[in-house]
Structure 1
């Protein structure tokens, strides 16, 4: 009973924030879910200590990059391919998968490495090594999610839906990154 009341209050508050400050709300939600995904990824990979700096990097990326980009992308998507257009479901998915996904992945790989203090050259080499494999995995994992998201979820909740799934995606990525780092030591 108490949980239902708290959930209802939380949703009401979230909806109010979406109405009054949609960009800030989505940016903050992306920051929180990115940090949560990294935190859970650290736990799964059995890190001896929680790396709060890593969590801050993911939160910063969510706040400054993912949240705002997703907010504007979903608005633009509805304008360039309206939901009522002929073949809209497939067209919208193709726009997402071949424009937004590659761009966001590129930014993720590069900026998160830069936030770790790596040089531009090192980051560029890492992106070059990891990008294609990561993009193929992104297409495998995110294509059904984004099909549902952009065709059935109301625009104001698309970022929230994607952020919920992103928690698990980030857990997977951070676990993979830590495994790779452990092998390189």
Structure 2
């Protein structure tokens, strides 16, 4: 206790010396009492704490709105944006491979196809509502996050959701490319087995983490982050396979 009192007095004396250490032309500042300095320090500390608390409150309110009131819009936009990220990576890989295969003077290909990027954004946004409502229904029907319910959710996701997402991807992308239904069906029949096999190889492990440990409001965002990697393969299968 006495050590604390001595430390506080030394701090007060040091502060007073700093305040009085000014140029001769400056008016001499009045000496502050120990209580005044303590009150001043408390006000400074409280002001900084209030500012940091306000910033944290604003961030928390924004976060709660994104994953609360505007969850559907968040899931739709994140699906489109992360689909675009995966497609841009796929386009970069395609460009570099073609650049190595072709002579420099023969290259007329642009690095990124903006129309394709837009199509992938639309395709991703179309998948957002499906994930949003199906995951909400799963958690409503099986609210307990145990191993049994998790395995059931993974099975539902692989048997119903995965084929549905693949169909949405191909039919919406081909429609935006103004291709006929016959061409779309042929492409889908050729590529569906490989894509679905890859889907079984990747998604059960990721969805176990999703359904077992995450809250409902974070499920679609988690899937979209994983899909950003998966979409590199999916975009390659659609455009360059």
Please state which band the TM-score falls in when normalised by the shorter chain.
0.7 to 0.9
Unaligned runs of 5+ in 2: 1-56, 97-109
1:46-69 CA-partner distances (Å, limit 9, x unpaired): 264211111111111122x21111
Give the Cα–Cα distance (whole angstroms) in 1 for the partners of residues 117 and 61 of structure 2: 28
Match of 1:52 among 100, 114, 124: 114
CA, structure 1 residues 155+126, in 2 after alignment: closer, same or farther (shift >3 Å)?
A: same
CA, structure 1 residues 91+50, in 2 after alignment: closer, same or farther (shift >3 Å)?
A: same
Task: Tell me which residue corresponds to 1:172.
Answer: 233
Unaligned runs of 5+ in 1: 1-7, 181-185
Report the TM-score, using the length of structure 2 for normalisation. 0.65
Q: Could you say which structure has the higher helix fraction? A: 1
Give the Cα–Cα distance (whole angstroms) in 2 for the partners of residues 104 and 10 of structure 1: 33
Give the Cα–Cα distance (whole angstroms) in 1 for the partners of residues 59 and 92 of structure 2: 27
- Please tell me whether Structure 1 or Structure 2 has the larger radius of gyration of its CA atoms: 2
1:62-98 CA-partner distances (Å, limit 9, x unpaired): 22x2111110011011122332578212111111111
Give the Cα–Cα distance (whole angstroms) in 2 for the partners of residues 135 and 57 of structure 1: 22
Report the TM-score, using the length of structure 1 for normalisation. 0.84
Answer whether contact 1:150 1:158 (CA < 8 A) is retained. Answer: yes
CA, structure 1 residues 151+74, in 2 after alignment: closer, same or farther (shift >3 Å)?
A: same
Q: Structure with the greater relative contact order (CA < 8 A, sep ≥ 6): 1 or 2?
A: 1
